Chain A
Amino acid sequence: MEIFWQALRDAVVLLARGDPYVCEVMWMSVQVAGLATVLGMVVGIPLGTWLGIRKFRGWGAAATVLNVGMMLPPVAVGLFVFLLLSRQGLLGSLGLLYSPTAMVVAEFFIAAPVVGAITMSGVGSVPREVRLQALALGASRWQSLWVVLREARVTLLSAVVAGFGAAISEVGAVMMVGGNLSSGGHNLTGTMTTAIVALVRQGEYAQAMAFAVILLVIAFAITLALTYLQRGIRRRWLQS
């Protein structure tokens, strides 16, 4: 047990000092996951909205694909993206493998289905009459969609946060396409999760613990923010 407390103490010291390596890795993680989430929203929200509103032939298959996407094994995603970007791959000529861009691509495939599937269920649970009522009050097609999304906004927010959570805590895929590289003590493609794996292997428990603490704090902050936002939105509805 002593080893645990020792690591935790050292971690706190590292964080308090603002250790440059720790900061670089943390910043990289947030950037990559953030960008992947934004791209995931760009694709996932319209897709989820469409599947949430329209029922068409093959809808069941499409919805299943999206839901399976949410459960995608990250290692498999990593493998696909790796093969896509590897020198012999379809996009190999771009030379993106082992770059932050490759990691964004991998995390995008993790985040987008999460955002899409939760959006789909949120939008799908808004009664059909909401859109009809908006149209009956003179909404254009786009305005009526906006009304539906507004009704589902708490779920949409959860979708985005869940997407970010999935992206930032992801290990397998980023490890495979990013490689956790550093050069001359400077981080290149390391994220907090991949760094933990590497550091533990090297016996550097203090730094690993520092990242673990940060990840836990992020998870906690996200949950807190979500709860607060949901409540805040309610309060603002009452006032607006």
Chain B
Amino acid sequence: MADKRKSLTRRDFLQGTLGAAVGASVLGTKWLEPAQKAAGSSLVAVVRDAKAMDSANVVNTEVLKTMLDNVLTKVTGKTTANDAWHSLLKADDIIGLVPTPHLNPTHKEVVEAVKSSLIAAGFSGEKILDAQGGPDKPKACTALIGLPGLKAHWLTGIGTVMKLYILYSGSARSYHDANSAKLGGILNLPFVKGKTRLVLVDALHPLFDKGPQVDPRYKWAYNGLIAGTDPVAVETVCLRIIMEKRKANKGEPWPLSPPPLCVEAADKEYGLGTSDWSKIKVDLSGWKEDALLG
């Protein structure tokens, strides 16, 4: 299906062919706020704390642990992190943690916090694996927890959730051009499909331009964790934060180029979740300053 996709041009965006989220990101138009969220909306929890990192961007692990507990309970509706994990995972799951490995990588403190939290909830440390890498990694797991770092990407617009599993394809480079819209298809590979139980985005120190190579001018301390069980909804929230930060930085709309086609494709073609802002409920808690979520 993807190979017969019509090649999208700038004119398609201008004609409003594509969804509002992607259209807003490439044209710099305003994100339309619906009067109310649609029934059955996907919940995305955003937890921030101004003290998550110090002025030298060193992570405060105690603050991070509290943030993690909060985001887990908000996403699952449970009262404790332990109960939250047990609502997402089975006791005998072999759990794969999937961080962004390098180039604005997931903070090791975030990975450690998640692992410690799982162990505290009673999951065996021996069954918690590093699942970032080639196809053999997810094959060894029954459950995956995505832990991407939040960043823009020069090839795909955004390089966070949908790009996280690119190495599972065994041919990462084939997704670098027009085929970046097919990234969502990786989540539907037989040895990946249905395994992602949670996406938890490391939004402590995101990158809003020129990714994946780091340019410190385009990093900022958002001090947040973003989590949800709908990977497309999580990516859409991440996209909005990136776009609003770009606009704030320039003082005018600063569209993403190329557009993050993978986001809408993950929704409309691969059925992985929703990129429709009217169907995404954002639960923002903690530090509210410059949350960039409208």
Bound together: no
Point out residues on A near B: beta carbons under 8 Å: none
Point out residues on B near A: beta carbons under 8 Å: none
